[in-house]
Structure 1
């Protein structure tokens, strides 16, 4: 490379850094060499650079959104056992993973079922698929998020804290039923539900059906109001199957050559 060429290359690198075009900076030199060798027209060279920049920005955006989502690791739709929950349509879940048919409308997804049937796995896997499709997601245990909102209320910043959650197209509240029946906790939860109503989507997993939500909210009026807001625009999945964790424990307890159906799990007294 000639001295002048080296100066020009260094200048290009500096300019690309100043413009924050990191994707182009990674490849422009190699692409320029290819373009010179093959006689590309200027438009083709510029298009190739622009495509590289867009791809690089997309990768960095995905990595950033994945980190902020706080999803439990290893939960994907490919790893979800749809055969174990035949009442859940794989095609419907894949359609929900696109996001545009419901997240744009602020609709909700409610997933009910006993512990150990894969509710959290399904919620996290959907969250991952949505992030891959360009949406922003936050996954949180309901108790953890409620505690953070309580702190915000004590600091007189609850409205601002809820507003900050608006940047997420989908807020996953895992294990809703584990919220203690406490006026302070359930009131901030109700305010969150009300604030997102018809604006931003919620995905809620819960062990108890609606009929038992009186154990979560302290009074009937609040229970009815919360349920009304959640179900108004909602898809509801009921995963009424045996716990896969219990099945795995039974299989392990059975040992080789022994039918798992006859095995028992010892419990401490």
Structure 2
């Protein structure tokens, strides 16, 4: 093709057709720099390609964050590792790398309420998305309800197939969900389908010995736990509740406040019913 045949005025249209938005956004600025510094054509093209790849990755990460439904603000940087001595930061950072995802492994965080189980699983989920994995967060009860509706509409296989696209599904509050036999069945099908194939992360306030409240059928309880723990990393997270400790600190601050200090309201006391994830 001769230079006479190339119409540079058509370049924006061609770049749009080729779906190269970063090329279109930056080419004029980079071209001016290239002309000024006498770059070879290969360097000019390489710089534009780097812009395109970097901005594509940014868009991918944002798109996957949006679809993940992960809770915002719950990252490794905001987790109080010093409050849970049984949870080494280095171990969690290694899990955030995702090697266990490649093996179809699972992750189970077990401990009393308020120790940040949801936080740590969401933080790992955020890191995994940045590493290129696809993650979905859901309360166990919400996801089970959706699968049960799909079964009633004879669309359960299609619903499960859509979940297959996620490398990791985070099931929160699994021991809070008391299910009937039909709902228990779809939860077990999800666990069985992903066994040694795709990963599941679970936050549970109760030890495995109490999981008969989730799966009322004893044989199904054993089978579900067996599949979950076979290739699992188990995080024991028993410590003082973050929220209870924060409330206690607030109450002490109120009690120690000078009489002249204006305090709008006394902090409410935390009861055993209060929980923090």
- Asked if TM exceeds 0.5, the reply is yes
1:247 corresponds to which of 245, 248, 257: 245
Please say if 1:205 is aligned against 2:203.
yes
| Distance of 2:102 and 2:253 partners within structure 1 | 50
Q: Tell me which moved more, 208-217 or 175-184.
A: 175-184
Task: Number of aligned residue pairs: give it.
Answer: 259
Q: Is the CA contact (8 Å cut-off) linking 1:179 and 1:185 kept in structure 2?
A: no
2:158 corresponds to which of 157, 160, 164: 160
Question: Deviation at 1:253?
Answer: 2.3
1:233 corresponds to which of 224, 231, 249: 231
Q: What residue in structure 1 maps to residue 222 of structure 2?
A: 224
Unaligned runs of 5+ in 1: 1-6
Q: Is the CA contact (8 Å cut-off) linking 2:244 and 2:270 kept in structure 1?
A: no
TM-score (norm 1): 0.92
Give matches, 1:168-207, under 5 Å: 168-207=166-205
Q: What residue in structure 2 maps to residue 59 of structure 1?
A: 58
Please say if 1:68 is aligned against 2:72.
no
| Distance of 2:198 and 2:169 partners within structure 1 | 8
How much is the aligned-residue C-alpha RMSD, in angstroms? Answer: 2.0
| Distance of 2:252 and 2:29 partners within structure 1 | 61
| Distance of 1:11 and 1:129 partners within structure 2 | 41
Q: Is the CA contact (8 Å cut-off) linking 2:247 and 2:268 kept in structure 1?
A: no
Question: Deviation at 1:131?
Answer: 0.8
| Distance of 1:199 and 1:85 partners within structure 2 | 31
Deviations 1:185-233 (A, max 9, x none): 1110000000000000000000011000011101110000000000000
| Distance of 1:94 and 1:109 partners within structure 2 | 13
Alpha-carbon distance change, 250 to 164 in structure 1, aligned in 2, over 3 angstroms: same
Please say if 1:265 is aligned against 2:269.
yes
| Distance of 2:51 and 2:15 partners within structure 1 | 13
| Distance of 1:121 and 1:106 partners within structure 2 | 22
Question: Deviation at 1:23?
Answer: 1.3
Q: Is the CA contact (8 Å cut-off) linking 1:250 and 1:264 kept in structure 2?
A: no
Question: Deviation at 1:256?
Answer: 4.2
Moved over 2 A (4+): 7-10, 253-258, 263-267
Q: What residue in structure 2 maps to residue 83 of structure 1?
A: 82
Give matches, 1:40-55, under 5 Å: 40-55=39-54
Question: Deviation at 1:266?
Answer: 7.2
Q: Is the CA contact (8 Å cut-off) linking 2:247 and 2:270 kept in structure 1?
A: no
TM-score (norm 2): 0.89
Unaligned runs of 5+ in 2: 1-5, 257-266, 272-277
Q: Is the CA contact (8 Å cut-off) linking 1:179 and 1:186 kept in structure 2?
A: no
| Distance of 1:28 and 1:65 partners within structure 2 | 28
Q: What residue in structure 1 maps to residue 30 of structure 2?
A: 31
Deviations 1:39-95 (A, max 9, x none): 111111111111111111101101100100111111110010000001111111101
